[in-house]
Amino acid sequence: MLIEKDKAISSLTSWKIGGPAALLLIPDTKEELAEAVKTGKKAGKFFLLGNGTNILARDEGISCPIIKLGKRFANYNIEGQTLRAGAAASLISLAVKTAGEGLAGFEFASGIPGTLGGAVIMNAGANGSEMKDIIIDVLVYDIEEEEYKTFSNEELNFSYRNSLLKNNNRYIVLEANIKLSQGDKNQLLEKIKKSKEERMSKQPYEYPNGGSVFKNPPGMSAGKLIEDAGLKGFSINDAEVSTKHGNFIINKGNAKAEDVINLIMHIEKVIKEKYNINLEREIIIVG
């Protein structure tokens, strides 16, 4: 198993922020994973890292072991209209691959930069679709019982950017079965191209960021609320509310987690004062 000590978490997250990871374990087999979990349990707790695109890691770093599934957990195969993929697989690659095979259903995820595991946990979604719509079932490792379990779509209790598996520190997603349908390869690839162009024009791809910071309040857009409150462009040191999209905070170079957290709290305060709305965070603060 690949083991690294004191690796900068900033190199493992899309925000490029975060202090040292005391111990990073990268298991590549189920046996290595069991070993990594044992180390984590001995330490009292551990953190399961996907592609780091929905987390803000604190400047002090993460003192408990971090487990990141290795490349062998990114394998996938397609049988008929069912995709079976490992949790470390890139959502963008899976979306492009399945569209290229003329299979419809996954193209909504073609711009979401996370792993399949992170997307299951978060019930990631875009363009009116979410993981809930395509998941058949998910294989997990239950760290309490130290055994494998399969959860059906219904059992996963998906809701907006949430699932049974989120924040419970008990299950590691290992694989998922995904139901697709027959589609037209060229149309699907064209859809992906258009959606990419739209994202590039609306989202701040030029700077490291963590995606949408807040969930949309029911029937509203968090980005629009933040924009209407005049907060676009507001910054604390190198952390800035993107001028392109109000729900994105960009790292202009040397932003610290503390700057981002202070900016998040400022936004929450202004939105509460102006609109009496409590914004709920989509990003997860770790460390």
Ligand X SMILES: Cc1cc2nc3c(=O)[nH]c(=O)nc-3n(C[C@H](O)[C@H](O)[C@H](O)COP(=O)(O)OP(=O)(O)OC[C@H]3O[C@@H](n4cnc5c(N)ncnc54)[C@H](O)[C@@H]3O)c2cc1C
Residues that bind ligand X (CB under 6 A): 14, 47-55, 69, 87, 112-115, 117-119, 121-122, 124-126, 172-173, 203, 209-211, 284
Q: Residue 110: how many CB atoms within 10 A of its CB?
A: 24
Give the nearest distance from C-beta 102 to ligand X in angstroms: 24
d(CA 209, CA 61): 18
Nearest to 236 by CA among 266, 277, 269, 279: 266
Nearer to ligand X, 164 or 270 (CB): 164
Give the nearest distance from C-beta 80 to ligand X in angstroms: 25
Nearer to ligand X, 40 or 210 (CB): 210
Q: What are the tokens at 261?
A: 């957290």
- In the block, tokens 């899309």 appear at 14
Nearer to ligand X, 45 or 274 (CB): 45
Nearer to ligand X, 112 or 260 (CB): 112
Give the nearest distance from C-beta 187 to ligand X in angstroms: 21
Specify whether 161 is catalytic.
yes
Give the nearest distance from C-beta 230 to ligand X in angstroms: 24
Catalytic residue, chosen from 161, 163, 175, 242, is 161
Enzyme catalytic residues: 161, 212, 282
